[in-house]
Structure 1
């Protein structure tokens, strides 16, 4: 709903996006990417806690016509099949090159300085985490939200997929810093800038005591 230049979500979206802890924790996967991408699209914040994103009709139409087809997603069947396949084929053991690892360190340092965040923990993590498996996990966490929001996945399918992503993250990473460094490894390795603000959102979420990433840990 539009009020001048501000977009306000309908009450039923806020009511729908209230979940028990066992559900809400699953939204940690994709939280940082959802925060930056959804906020960029609609000038909203806090969207990392949503499963159903609010899209005005014209925005939903653009998502369906232009963005989702870049993944090969054109309908419910292709959404389910492609997400299933990407989860199944994700590479958790491939590592970045030495040159890309240096670029990751520079990206972390730059982002932390710009956002007044102590980079020590992330830089220490970058010394040990060289894999890039979290890149697709994080990206899929956002993609699942989008597909559910435009009615290409059922709610049950969305939660089931997010649970698979959560279980994979728990299996392969000890904490959120390990996870996000692995994500940045993948982003830098692929040379893509489309997800470059995910690290910015991660740092901002870590600074917020009430964020999902501070409420739920990968391993207790």
Structure 2
């Protein structure tokens, strides 16, 4: 990922926030024909003293369901920026752009298919995402009808050894431009635009981002 120095984010707490807000990621590997192959998947994420672990599963027929090197793309909020919002739009000949946050995680996939591990994974996935949905359905690996469905999936664990975090939030613009853009996005009609505005204001020069 091309990341100018002004947009590089070194704090892994920012990655924690991205995956807490949007744990639906893109997993990219290289297929047998040498071309990129991508899957879009909900994941479980953990960062502790032992490092980072990302977990999820594929449908078993998915050709990506195998161990090997991979890139996991984490999607943060993003929003279009109009040149009309800049105070210096005329003298600086400003043009449209896009503000966003994203992360690229590079590492190695481990795949598995044993029922006990898969049952535990799907149980934890159901607990996490049912809570987000305000519901309480629960996967029960001891229920034979549910357990039989585990034969249709392959689990994976992903341990990144390189992480790139990019927060493109007008850090390379004058303060007046940053505030004008943040103000316009804050009043826009989308959650993404408002989230970008909040990130811009958190990341003002000299102000530490919130954890």
Is the shorter-chain TM-score for this pair beyond 0.5, marking a shared fold? no
**Structure with greater Cα Rg:** 2
Relative to the length of structure 2, the TM-score reads 0.29
**Which structure features the higher share of strand residues?**
2
**Which structure features the higher share of helix residues?**
1
Higher relative contact order (CA 8 A, sep 6+): 1
